[in-house]
Structure 1
């Protein structure tokens, strides 16, 4: 039998997890384990289990729990037989365990051995033993039992032992080598984050960072700790911290000594146990002032599956601000002890203002990461990720919290399958698909009852204050419409100002024209101005201006460079303002260098802009930020396809800072990251501006959206751009929009609409005398003709395109047409002509240095040789194309070429190799969410 108390309380009989019974029985077991074989007096058990006011039957209840524990720990024990495990001694009880049965005893033994070895001078082995000891920890001792019991000295002392062990490991590690240093650093960082005011611990972190050659990080850590102590406590750092800083300042960047060769064993992964499993504990902190929801909690408790029962999914749905996440986190923390193999949390961002929800693939990667799967071992393909996730959870009892889900499809692959597992999903939608297909249970939340709302305020502000101003309390509840989020904001204001009358707060809410009414709508368009103003007024003027101007930013999140363009400053000047807003909780840094805010805060900022900034300032700011994205996108497209014809832009507005891209990978990554912002910018300018930005940005986005298979988005963007250009009477904008929309519709097999828009584009480009525009329209027309088998019409289109390119002196355009003519001959079965045309295209592209065109020509030649049965020559051509597409980071065409390679290998009878190549292509297409993935899946099924 094995016992765990360093984390959730657990007991194993062999490999089976033993059920520990009701909460008080689990608490009694924790108390006995914490004393590690020493007697616990009966009065101490009573005090721990009831804390205060124990019932008259307390001793009898304890005896019943002792009897149940004995039966659990010694199943074969007959009635009336003395227990060898849970024994009655000197007015109390003791639980007897061997030193290798209880993790606490193992931990202490390892610590003692490490201390002895360190005294003998073998600090390397001492660190190894301390790391082994620290690996036994799964979280705070006896986590999951009631907080008032966890606060007893016997448990806090165990937690203190953990901190001391971390400090000891940090003290010994400078001589232990790089591998052990990294492992200690992980634990040291975690401990330092949980004990931010333990100066000795923070000093050890600084010392180890400096000893590892990370002097800059060590000094930055000191500054962070120093600022925290000054802000929170009002003191300067003590001597240990100051000494650590001096050591970091004087530390040279010499390489660390290698670990001695006497130990060749590979270190176990950090945070894993003997079975090499990670036990994540990711639940957000439970709200201390949580109150109410009694009926909902009773309903939820009834849905928890037993270990032997099928996995369950529970959906918490309701309007914005109703407290779905708060209830989910509270309930999950209550349930944590029942799910000892892990509790994970993922915010799916399903209702972000921009609509930029987390993809299922991204969520699966987060879940796999939580269980310690190395990034390099996570498959690229979504189905493979889901399979890995399901396999990882097999035989485990895990709680998964999926917050802010968009729809059923986003959630379904994330649900755990093993018996005894539970998924808690929150969403503004009911997710009927999960109920119908997965059998999920639904709990719909409404605003709090008046008594619950009053209880929430009483928990936060104190019962006496509430009773002293009953009328004001009732009015605040009514003005907040019993919505938890609104009540929490108001109570935070009142708690920070204990002398401020509640009647004054009620009056402020009343005179602000019912701004909290906006919490009842979805999505919210306004907010409690009077409440947000309390944070806004505390900002410096520069940060306040940035907060307002961010309301003019078009997208879901904002980069530092975009914020600099907004404010007409430099990045180094705007960074401190962004940091100030983050600290004031008016902005969130979702990932390094990218910032967003709650939709209610954006609405408040928009009102402030209209009130405090002049129309001229608003116009100038909007122009700068749109110029930032337009010129950045233009620069990125130029890097990705330098030889493609493109529109000419006017110079950006003064103080605009467009991005610059050193290579194609950086440019492609920027497009991927900024796509939601760019799409929103097109729509915003079409709706509010003169439409020039709208159609120009849409024209710049055309290639990116087409290559990545985002044809529905292309249709939306180009339709918006056409409307904007028509409103402004801009023929060139209309021409570009009709051309791109026609091609997008052809991708979607909407042929009638495609022909109509391409014809209109051709008329407009003819009217404008734009040879480049006419040439590309004819190329698109040829594509449509080939799709319908009208190859002669396609060749006519290509002949005209060649003439237009020739008249414009666009050699690369001519070369691209040669390749497309060759592809048309390939479709016609005239392979000799196909090879001639594609070879001519290849030679020109090589001469002009156009890797995009060269790769396309190689791919076309490969397909032609494949049709002729020249398989080795085909593979050689495809390899050239594949190398170029990877170099220029064109993911879709890389996958397309991989499919062609697989076709050739299949024709050569190499089915296994073809299958591997198709899976590689499928992984790429699924990663970029390309529609072509479905065709590759079909090919794989045919092979398998």
Structure 2
């Protein structure tokens, strides 16, 4: 109770408490404040760790700079101590100078560590006297005094790390003693939950697991107790290569000896789907699967029959797995990402195996351990269909011999083959004899051999195409094979392409429309005018000129007929060929109906994208938008994250809409709205393509505003991802049009691009001059955020020219403007520049703080391209601080991003990584 008293006493006078269990804080009069910089916190932590003893200046230097001390370490130490005294305020007299160093003397009630230690001692004393009730209360009080890891925000130092380790061990020991007291007392309804929580957080702490096993068994949950033992045993073997210790083994034996153990009911699941009718061929692949052990991966292109092979072999091998068969479709390659969470699959699998659903533990790791424990010693077949990647599969793999995992995926899952030793089973299209056998198996007989051969050849041996053709023949008895073969050869919807074997299925979609209402058919036709791979209800409502409430039932009607798929709530997609089929049925281009529908769709996207663009960059001047047509629905977006998600989902549709003819005003506005998103995400090809089309459209419509903006963004896109000559030409167009419009904000942005071009050429004097001209135009425009960005650019270029103090002043002024205007991009730029200035000036800790803040802000706004610069600088600073591993890790992150985005920093990062590790990294 000492800690509670200490905190309460502070309210009555100038009482001091230093907290170091968690972030380092000083508390006076009930008010907590953080302690200065990381270096000041480090000095305070070292003095605290001496527990009132002397810390010499030499010892402090060794602790603060263990590898490479600065040129003036003693001066820096004296400065740190002086600043620490200011941080301590009224408590400064407790920090005294005593040659050859310093002493920090605190009363035992003035440091939370000594309060915590005394609470543990009091609890142990009560326990030794047999007063379990009092001991339990005191242990609980001690645990409440532990908010987090000791010295959580303090850079590592040997003395501090040693103290933190000993405190953590004391806390865990006290935790086990507390649980032991509660086990002895009995009748504690929260004990099992508390033990589960801490055992999950400390899975290698065998004492906690042993106590959890005892608590579970006393609660009648013997199966879970045994599962906890098995999971911990496997973890100990995999992580440390050791068997459970004596305490955990004793708990295991205790559970096994007590009545009721091993009464968990193991069910034998039988979840395999029906085998595919008319399965043919694949003898080589079936033989490979017969010889595989542990796991196998069936891979190949879409429609090649991966799932059919997996289910067929699984049915043949049922007798080899007497303990059951589990099956799940992981939906890894559905038209829109809607992959199944392996944690949810584990829960379902455990329930299918007889484990009560209400006793399935939370957390992926705990569920996976329990799942492997339940499967241990059994022979179960686990079929994981349509997997996305190896990480989705790994938690679902059995952990012991006997069981077998069969995975199908379009991805080769090379990681599973290389690390887990899974057998790779690649699939190709069927040979012509096997293709004919598939048709015969589906139809019973081939009444026209010549027509069947024509069909098989047009289907290019793709099982999905052959199956769909066979289905068309089966549901239309009057349709002859010869007639269908001719349709495949002559009709555009049935024309086959040797390079795209899926094309043969188009001619069979028309029958599905007969099962839906006329309103749904009409909506399906209009969906053919939508250019994207997926669509939401607001866009569909705009297409149809209806409300979202009116189109929702029609969308679900089409989904029930398999003409649409709702991959996730409110997002609908179609197969590529169904989309092509809908396009064929849509109103012909140029007709009045098509123009009205496209106008509504473009209005939807322009107005929604304009809102999204404003959320991504609130300081960007908005466009003048034309009024929306009747019947248009706009997506409701309110946050930057929602805007970024919307742009990502709609990128393909928006890009395609810039190719629409006859709507030039919409085209350049769509491209304008996309520019911030495409720039931040580094989608260079889309940025170049959309802005090029936008400039053409603006010229056709004689829009000076459109030409100015489109030319500027095209110039920026070419500067980053295209051709310098094209960038220069587009920039001249932008300057001319902005001048014509007397648009000072636009002219300022052109000077910003000139800054970047000069910087890339290494001419920082010219870049600085352009930044000053840009500032002038931003001031004429009254654009605060722009003024901040221009000042920040001036500070950056002055820093590159060695004028650090002037650069710092400009960046500080820029940061104030950016914060006033809420310009996160400007703030990120300023912190990046301040990081460089501090780095060049030798203030490495300050540089680290600035770079970390810049990285945080760029991540917040989703700007991956500009994120590379502060990551590179942060890595340089880590290296200068002697933190080589952190430097390499940070450079690697920047390098991978730079390679992906074709960033010019790639070469410099390669040199850094080669110098650090002696090997050239792979992009």
TM-score (norm 1): 0.57
1:457 to 415, 418, 442: 442
1:725: Cα distance to partner? Answer: 3.8
Q: Residue 801 of structure 2 aligns with which residue?
A: 828
Unaligned 5+ runs, structure 2 = 1-188, 197-214, 236-266, 348-361, 368-388, 918-923
Aligned match for 1:289, one of 277, 281, 284: 277
Q: How many residue pairs were aligned?
A: 634
**1:867 is the counterpart of 2:840:** yes
Q: Give the stretch that moved more between structures: 824-833 or 726-735.
A: 726-735
Contact residue 321 and residue 519 of structure 1 kept, 8 A:
no
Q: Equivalent of 1:584, from 561, 570, 580?
A: 561
Q: Distance in 2 between matches of 1:510 and 1:813?
A: 65
* Aligned mate of 1:574, from 539, 542, 551: 551
Q: Distance in 1 between matches of 2:853 and 2:288?
A: 58
Q: Is the 8 A contact 1:548 1:606 kept in 2?
A: yes
| DSSP 3-state at the match of 1:552 | coil
CA distance in structure 1 between the aligned counterparts of 2:683 and 2:649, rounded to whole angstroms: 15
**Whole-Å Cα distance in 1 between the matches of residues 341 and 901 of structure 2?**
17
Residues 738, 760 of structure 1: 8 Å contact kept:
yes
Partners of 1:838 and 1:528 in 2: CA distance = 61
Q: Distance in 1 between matches of 2:885 and 2:507?
A: 66
**Distance 1:713-1:814 versus aligned 2 partners, 3 A rule:** same
For 1:725 and 1:665, locate their aligned partners in 2 and report how far apart those are by CA, in whole Å. 30
Q: Is the 8 A contact 1:556 1:596 kept in 2?
A: yes
Q: CA deviation at 1:641?
A: 0.9
Higher mean displacement: 876-885 or 391-400: 391-400
State the match for 1:743 in structure 2. 716
Partner of 2:424: 423
Residue 635 of structure 1 corresponds to which residue in structure 2?
Answer: 611
Q: Does the 8 Å contact 2:616/2:677 carry over to 1?
A: no
Closer, same or farther in 2 for the Cα pair 1:761/1:876, shift >3 Å?
same
The CA deviation string for residues 409-431 of structure 1, in whole angstroms up to 9 with x for no partner, is xx4654522575223456xxxxx
Q: For 1:590, what is the secondary structure of its paired residue?
A: strand
Mapped to 2, the partners of 1:907 and 1:267 lie a distance apart of: 54
Structure 1 CA distance, aligned partners of 2:512 and 2:407? Answer: 31
**Counterparts in 2 of 1:540-559, with a 5 A limit?**
540-559=517-536
Does 2:655 match 1:679? yes
1:878-889 matched pairs, under 5 angstroms: 878=851, 880-881=853-854, 884-885=857-858, 888=861
Unaligned runs of 5+ in 1: 1-175, 184-258, 379-384, 406-410, 427-442
Residue 659 (structure 1) aligns with: 635
How many Å separate the matches in 1 of 2:417 and 2:892? 25
Going from structure 1 to structure 2, the CA distance change for 1:763 and 1:456 (only over 3 Å counts) comes to farther
Q: 1:847 aligns with which of 808, 820, 824?
A: 820
Q: What is aligned with 1:608? A: 585
Cα offset, 1:825, TM superposition: 0.7
| Stretch moving more, 879-888 or 637-646 | 879-888
Q: Call closer, same or farther: CA 1:868–1:325 in 2, change over 3 Å.
A: same
Question: Given the superposition, is the C-alpha separation of residues 301 and 782 from structure 1 closer, same or farther in structure 2, using an over 3 Å criterion?
Answer: same
1:929 to partner: Cα distance: 11
- CA 267–586 in structure 1, closer or farther in 2 if over 3 Å, else same: farther
Using a 3 Å threshold, how does the CA distance of structure 1 residues 545 and 298 change in structure 2: closer, same or farther? same
Structure 2 residue 467 is matched with structure 1 residue 488 = yes
Deviations along 1:548-603, one digit per CA (max 9) or x if unpaired, are: 11111111111122112211222222111111111101111222221111222222
Structure 1 residues 111-130: aligned runs within 5 Å: none
Once the 2 structures are TM-superposed, how far is the Cα of residue 680 of structure 1 from its aligned partner?
2.5
RMSD: 4.9
In 1, the alpha carbon distance for the partners of 2:762 and 2:501 equals 51
Counterpart in the other structure of 1:819: 792
Q: Name the residue aligned to 2:283.
A: 298
- Check the 8 A contact 1:402/1:424 in 2, yes or no: no
Query: Residues 177 and 569 from structure 1, CA distance in 2 versus in 1: closer, same or farther, beyond 3 angstroms?
Result: farther
| Structure 2 Cα separation of the partners of residues 335 and 932 of structure 1 | 54
Alignment of 1:624 with 2:600, yes or no, is yes
Change (3 A) 1:284 1:761: farther
TM-score (norm 2): 0.58
Please state whether the residue corresponding to 1:643 is helix, strand or coil.
coil
Match of 1:645 in 2: 621
Q: Which moved more, 1:755-764 or 1:816-825?
A: 755-764
Aligned to 1:173: none
Shift of 1:665: 1.7
Closer, same or farther: CA 275–262 of 1 in aligned 2, 3 Å: closer
Cα contact 2:520–2:557 (8 A) shared by 1: yes
Cα distance in 2, alignment partners of residues 693 and 745 from structure 1: 22
